[in-house]
């Protein structure tokens, strides 16, 4: 039987691509989502991957959600923290609500999710945690102070978890994608898109499948000596 993988925000974009790639690689996959029932149902019908609805920013909801996944699919051995939102505004215009919404969904969620799965991973002597950060967690960006802070915090959290889990067979790594062709960019004007692509040496946006392949690599049993790392995938836009 394949290992069980849980992907948050797993019914659209990068998350859905990760679910498909993990399933193809032999994992038993579950996907969580927050609110788009139509997209979740469409994803479930297309992929055959079970979907579970809860708010990853809510600690108790995460606990109950993971219990539901484990009852239906099995103990979570691979956790992919992909759920994320953006609420863009220049700092002088950013509301406390915009700040808190992004921090809650993008950063608090990685703590909330590990809280339920970490003990089982320690007991079994195996675990893979993959946190989907962003190029904007490695560099600043106008109008994204909340998002940049959350994604940078995710990288620091990953390194600490890697140290704590190392002797228990648990790895923790981050992936920092550059600009990927997903719904997050759907509202960007043509002029802004030209500017974004112009900064990418390979001359195009990334594809969700390209990020998903990195997730499968880090989730593998054979990746046991890779932990505390941040895998940068951005078409050469930022070389770190």
Report the C-alpha gap between 153 and 106 in whole angstroms.
9
Block residue for tokens 């956790």: 79
What is the enclosing helix (H) or strand (E) of 216?
helix 208-219
Neighbours of 80 (CB within 10 A): 30
35 SS3 class: coil
Active site residues: 147
Sheet holding 4-7, edge to edge: 51-53, 28-33, 4-7, 78-81, 127-132, 170-177, 230-233
Residue 104, token pair as written in the block: 């809650």
Cβ-based neighbours of 36, under 8 Å, separated by 6 or more: 11, 12
Residue among 47, 118, 125 at smallest CA distance from 81: 118
Report the C-alpha gap between 61 and 152 in whole angstroms.
24
* 34 contacts 65 by C-beta, under 8 angstroms: no
Residue among 57, 202, 118 at smallest CA distance from 210: 202
Block residue for tokens 């112009």: 198
């Amino acid at each position: 039987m394949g290992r069980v993988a849980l992907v948050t925000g797993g019914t659209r974009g990068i998350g859905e691509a990760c679910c498909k790639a993990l399933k193809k690689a032999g994992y038993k996959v579950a996907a969580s989502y927050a609110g788009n029932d139509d997209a979740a149902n469409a994803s479930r019908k297309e992929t055959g991957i079970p979907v579970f609805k809860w708010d990853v920013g809510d600690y108790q909801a995460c606990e109950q959600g993971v219990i539901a996944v484990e009852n239906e699919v099995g103990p979570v051995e691979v956790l992919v923290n992909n759920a994320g939102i953006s609420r863009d505004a220049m700092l002088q215009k950013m509301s406390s609500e915009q700040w808190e919404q992004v921090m809650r969904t993008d950063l608090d969620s990685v703590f909330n999710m590990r809280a339920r799965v970490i003990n089982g991973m320690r007991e079994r002597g195996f675990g893979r945690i993959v946190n989907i950060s962003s190029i904007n967690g490695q560099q600043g960006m106008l109008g994204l102070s909340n998002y940049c802070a959350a994604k940078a915090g995710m990288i620091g959290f990953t390194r600490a978890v890697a140290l704590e889990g190392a002797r228990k067979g648990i790895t923790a790594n981050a992936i920092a994608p550059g600009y990927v062709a997903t719904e997050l960019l759907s509202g960007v004007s043509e002029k802004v898109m030209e500017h974004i692509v112009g900064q990418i040496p390979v001359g195009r946006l990334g594809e969700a499948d390209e990020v998903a392949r990195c997730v499968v690599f880090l989730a593998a049993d054979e990746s046991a000596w890779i932990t505390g790392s941040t895998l940068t995938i951005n078409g050469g836009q930022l070389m770190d």
